[in-house]
Amino acid sequence: MDHFQYREGRLHAEDVDIEYIAESVGTPFYCYSTATLERHFKAYVDAFASLDATICYAVKANSNIAVISTLSRLGAGADVVSCGELTRALRGGVPANKIVFSGVGKSREEIAAALEAGVLQINVESEPELELINDIAVSQNKRAPIAIRINPDVDAKTHEKITTGLSENKFGIEWTQAHAVFAKAASLPGIEVVGIAVHIGSQLTDLEPYRHAYTRLRDLVAMLCADGHKIARLDLGGGLGIPYGDGEIPADLPTPRDYADVVQSAVGDLQIPLIFEPGRSIAGNAGILVTRILYIKEGATRTFAVVDAAMNDLLRPTLYNAYHDIVPVKQASPGAALKEIDVVGPICETGDTFGVQRQLPSFAAGDLLAIRTAGAYGAVMASTYNSRPLVPEVLVNKSSFDVIRKRWDVDQMIGLEAIPDWFDKPSEG
Ligand SMILES: *Cc1c(COP(=O)(O)O)cnc(C)c1O
């Protein structure tokens, strides 16, 4: 459930009228709901209450520092994948000892920064990375707390671009090499092995791949303990799917509680502290992208609503063929005739399409639409393609809203660019 509902026919985020925000900040803009973020986070806390679990919100899903702050105030840790995200997590109030540093290609600078900050653990994805972390830790006179990310070779049966747990994927250390890599890690003076990590993919709509992966993990823990390693923590990753409103995703999606049952039965009796890294399932339904219709264009076979948002603002439909529900901000009167409409952006790419043949009421230019479930992998994936400045992000809390990222202006967008000295510079005039 989310907190974007109609009241007297007008879409609200909590107690705030979306049209009112649009008039204040202009379109397009992202709008997030505090109550929804909190509700989703608490669903994890409640589901895992009987397990010793830390929820490390995957910052890459939505990295605005106001979103991170909303969650950190409830006790969230963070899963970060870059120096930028590390800085955001710290600014958002997440204590360093609740931050996991993940990522398949950490640079020397990132590893050094993670160690300097004193993060809870660095999740290691390869032997060369392990060696580099050791070198950096030794030079800092530290022992780096690391977990080794194992690729359990389990098919998450999700979109091919977001499945990560197959041996053909670039993620983690091969299952079969775990024994050797743990032995090596234990021999390095700058390394303290604290655990094992797995993350098999994103937008999982079925729990069986988790059950499979965690059962394998359990066997691995037994083997590593027999080898004499101490496994202090298990990081079970993120990836729980959410409904995007299309018919294909089952209505009875697993909840955090269902997920917790699987975890409990697979690894609960090991009594090892757990880490979870949910991203999408916390932020996804907590955000919408609001856009205004520029033109209604009657094509030969289709009706197009050309909107002022584009693929640079929300890339998921283009990148993953993702379905996002699209709704009018002003509800049509009951019984109003529906029409088949393609909702498209203004960019010269066929992929710049938010919805094809959607059943929607008749619109006029100037009407507002909300593209739902845009809170995760939305604003964070935006670009300035077509030299379109990044759009604002707004956070609603009950009857208040605040702009948590301002709209860029054109000068901010091009201000870091320079014309080389060897050109005659155009006169500044
Ligand atoms: C992307 C990612 C997550 C979060 O995945 P969601 O599908 O957003 O829950 C967690 N852990 C790792 C290592 C990731 O790469």
pLDDT of 247 reads 67
pLDDT band at 425 (very low <50, low <70, confident <90, very high): low
From 81, 82, 102, the mutation candidate for ligand 1 (largest count of ligand atoms within 8 A of CB) is: 102
The ligand 1 site (C-beta within 6 Å) comprises: 58, 60-61, 79, 102, 199, 202, 237-239, 277-281
Mean pLDDT of 187-211: 96
pLDDT of 427 reads 64
Residue 244 falls inside a structural domain: yes
Residues 335 and 242 grouped into a single domain:
no
pLDDT of 428 reads 61
Residues 322 and 197 grouped into a single domain:
no
CA 395, CA 337: separation in Å to the nearest integer? 33
The SS3 of residue 117 is: helix
Q: 365-407, pLDDT tens digit by residue?
A: 999 999 999 999 999 999 999 999 999 999 999 999 999 999 9
CATH code of residue 301: 2.40.37.10
CATH code of residue 215: 3.20.20.10
- 162 burial class (0-12, 13-18, 19+ CB within 10 angstroms)? middle
Residues 264 and 192 grouped into a single domain:
yes
Residues 220 and 302 grouped into a single domain:
no
Give the pTM: 0.96
Residue 89 falls inside a structural domain: no
Q: Last residue of some domain: 221, 253, 276?
A: 276
Residues 249 and 170 grouped into a single domain:
yes
Mean pLDDT of 51-75: 98
As for how many domains the chain has, the answer is: 2
Residues 245 and 314 grouped into a single domain:
no
Q: Last residue of some domain: 276, 309, 333?
A: 276
Residue 149 falls inside a structural domain: yes
Residues 242 and 147 grouped into a single domain:
yes
Please report the DSSP string for 214-260 in residue order: HHHHHHHHHHHHHTT----EEE----B----SSSSS-SSPPPHHHHH
From 277, 280, 373, the mutation candidate for ligand 1 (largest count of ligand atoms within 8 A of CB) is: 277
pLDDT band at 158 (very low <50, low <70, confident <90, very high): confident
Residues 365 and 393 grouped into a single domain:
yes
Range of the domain at 355: 4-31+285-414
Residue in the block written with tokens 């979306």: 18
Residues 272 and 303 grouped into a single domain:
no
Q: Last residue of some domain: 243, 276, 309?
A: 276
CA 61, CA 379: separation in Å to the nearest integer? 9
Residue 84 falls inside a structural domain: no
pLDDT of 76 reads 98
Mean pLDDT of 341-357: 95
pLDDT of 126 reads 94
CA 345, CA 161: separation in Å to the nearest integer? 23
Residues 257 and 325 grouped into a single domain:
no
Confidence check: pLDDT of 262 > 90: yes
Residue in the block written with tokens 């509700």: 39
Confidence check: pLDDT of 172 > 90: no
- Would you give the distance in Å from CA 15 to the centre of its chain? 26
Q: What is the 3-state secondary structure (H, E, C) of 326-341?
A: EEECECCCCCCCEEEE
Q: How far is the CA of 184 from the centre of ligand 1 (A)?
A: 27
Q: How far is the CA of 48 from the centre of ligand 1 (A)?
A: 18
pLDDT of 163 reads 73
Residues 255 and 400 grouped into a single domain:
no
pLDDT band at 78 (very low <50, low <70, confident <90, very high): very high
Side-chain half-sphere CA neighbours of 367 within 13 A? 22
In percent, the amount of the chain with pLDDT more than 90 equals: 88
Residue 88 falls inside a structural domain: no
Confidence check: pLDDT of 429 > 60: no
Q: How far is the CA of 306 from the centre of ligand 1 (A)?
A: 33
Known active-site residue 225: no
Residue 37 falls inside a structural domain: no
Residue 325 falls inside a structural domain: yes
Residues 14 and 163 grouped into a single domain:
no
Residue 20 falls inside a structural domain: yes
